[in-house]
Amino acid sequence: MLLAVRLYSKIKRVVLLVATIALVGCASIPAGVEPSPHDPWESFNRSVFEFNEGLDAYLLKPVVAGYRFILPEFVRQGIYNFFSNYSDIYTALFNLLQGRLDYAFNDLMRVAVNTTMGLGGLLDLATPGGLEKHKEDWGQTLGVWGVPAGPYVVLPFFGPSNVRDAFGTVADLESDYLFRFLPDVALRNSVTGLRVVNARNTYYEAGDLLDGAAIDKYSFMRDAYIQRREYQINEGREGEEPQMPVYENPYQ
């Protein structure tokens, strides 16, 4: 019951934030761009997309540039491995909820190997050892359970999503120990900031490539997100996984 109240409170805040951004005005759709049946709110979504792009360009990207300048690559890789190992704990749980017992066992073995022999997860010894990396979240789990995706939506700060995954993001945040339950507030905030920077660092150069390409970046990212989520829910039965260049959600 308490979790449900917290979820409702978080969802209400997100709705209010989105409504506030909507008051600023909707972005126009470029001439010649074909409308997508998955994106009935495209004009509004583009306005949120532009907000996120500005936030990324003027705040997040400069921070990540400093992060890359200060920390050598092996340190950044260790930070990435640590958070990746942490996410494997939740991935194991989600695979269990989805009935994929073999995947769940594989994920738990990854955590055991990387935590005990990989210096608490700073080294990834499980992948070269043959234990495949998976990534699951509440949105994917709901999709496997048969919950439809609903219309495409761009979330402030979190980026590409859909109605189902938006609720999944709230559930991910509410159930995340490092984000929600770590007792030391200062440490919790620091870890959260580091996770966001680490996630953006992973796609640092890919974002530059998109900025320089002669494409409609919004449409490209929307289509890539939709294809990637379908792939993840169907476990790759529909071909090769499309890559998401930026806005990788650190909590999914």
> What is the average pLDDT across 235-242?
55
State the residue range of the domain holding 229: 41-70+137-252
Q: Burial of 114 by CB count in 10 Å (0-12 exposed, 13-18 middle, 19+ buried)?
A: buried
> What is the average pLDDT across 204-220?
76
Distance of CA 203 to the CA centre of its chain: 12
Instruction: Give domain status of residue 127, yes or no.
Output: no
H/E stretch holding 225 reads: helix 217-233
Q: What percent of the chain has pLDDT over 90?
A: 71
Structure tokens belonging to residue 116? 């005990």
Instruction: Give domain status of residue 112, yes or no.
Output: no
Instruction: Give domain status of residue 231, yes or no.
Output: yes
Task: Please state the domain count of the chain.
Answer: 1
Q: Burial of 109 by CB count in 10 Å (0-12 exposed, 13-18 middle, 19+ buried)?
A: middle
177 half-sphere exposure, CB direction, 13 A CA radius = 5
Instruction: Give domain status of residue 114, yes or no.
Output: no
132-153 per-position pLDDT tens digit: 999 999 999 999 999 999 999 9
Which comes out higher in pLDDT, residue 156 or 237?
A: 156
Instruction: Give domain status of residue 156, yes or no.
Output: yes
Per-residue confidence (pLDDT) for residue 149, from 0 to 100: 96
The answer to whether residue 239 scores a pLDDT higher than 80 is no
Per-residue confidence (pLDDT) for residue 216, from 0 to 100: 86
Instruction: Give domain status of residue 58, yes or no.
Output: yes
Taking alpha carbons only, the member of 195, 196, 224 closest to residue 210 is 224
Instruction: Give domain status of residue 33, yes or no.
Output: no
The answer to whether residue 8 scores a pLDDT higher than 50 is no
In this prediction, residue 115 has a pLDDT band, given cuts at 50, 70 and 90, of very high
The answer to whether residue 219 scores a pLDDT higher than 80 is yes
